[in-house]
Amino acid sequence: MAERILVVADIHGHHEALVSLLRQARYRPGADLLVLLGDYIDRGPRGVEVVATVRELVAAGAVALKGNHEQMLLDYLTGELEENVYLWNGGGPTLAGYRRAGREVLLSDVSWMEGLPLYYEHEPYVFVHAGLRPGRALADQSPDDLLWIREEFYAFPTGLADRTVIFGHTPTVFFTGSPEVWFAGDKIAVDTGAAYGFFLTLLELPGGRTWRVPTGTAYRV
């Protein structure tokens, strides 16, 4: 049984911030459970490096979920998403990073992203990138909701008895006015706006302690 659960959401290419947070929290693979909630790439400058580090963390026992930005990259590469849409959503730094890294790295990372889970259960918590459709059983959730849902999730009770949903995707500053972790009884929001010039935050469970690193200038298309 892990002594602590550590959670990071929506890294968005901020590699140095991720490394700093793990160091500050004194993360110990094997003793602590680290859960990463997706969106490793896009908007920020070093998404390829973040993916490499996350893959190393997973190999050492961490859990990594898929975010909507990983899915957007996959959809762009298969032609299901237009290039201008992906670029408008911050894909430029990621594509540039993979051009530098080379085709072999891209193909390996794409295969890894395709296999990422959409949620993770560890009693009494459910971890997910975006959220859940309230009133629907976990097994009946759609991939679109798990990756993309916003107000329909965070503004309503989850309907999951005795479970707390830990999520990212929507920066807390967008719906609370403050770039802080949001504790709301049946849910906890961990995206504190790293992609928008605010903070990358690491949350410790069950105690609720946080560490955060400012990310500086927000990404601009």
At residue 56, what is the residue type?
A: E
The domains of the chain, with CATH numbers, are 4-214 (3.60.21.10)
Query: In the Cβ-directed half-sphere of 181, how many Cα atoms lie within 13 Å?
Result: 23
Which ranges in the chain belong to alpha helices (H)? Answer: 15-24, 47-59, 68-77, 83-88, 92-101, 103-114, 143-148, 151-154, 172-176
Query: In the Cβ-directed half-sphere of 5, how many Cα atoms lie within 13 Å?
Result: 19
Determine the Cα–Cα distance for residues 106 and 126; give it in Å rounded to an integer: 30
Query: Could you list the pLDDT tens digit for every one of the 221 residues in the chain?
Result: 677 999 999 999 999 999 999 999 999 999 999 999 999 999 999 999 999 999 999 999 999 999 999 999 999 999 999 999 999 999 999 999 999 999 999 999 999 999 999 999 999 999 999 999 999 999 999 999 999 999 999 999 999 989 999 999 999 999 999 999 999 989 999 999 999 999 999 999 999 999 999 998 655 43
Using the CB atoms, write b or e for 192-208: b if 16+ within 10 Å: bbbbbebbbbbbebeee
SS3 assignment, position 210: strand
What pLDDT does residue 217 have?
61
Determine the Cα–Cα distance for residues 6 and 62; give it in Å rounded to an integer: 10
Residue 27 in tokens: 């993360």
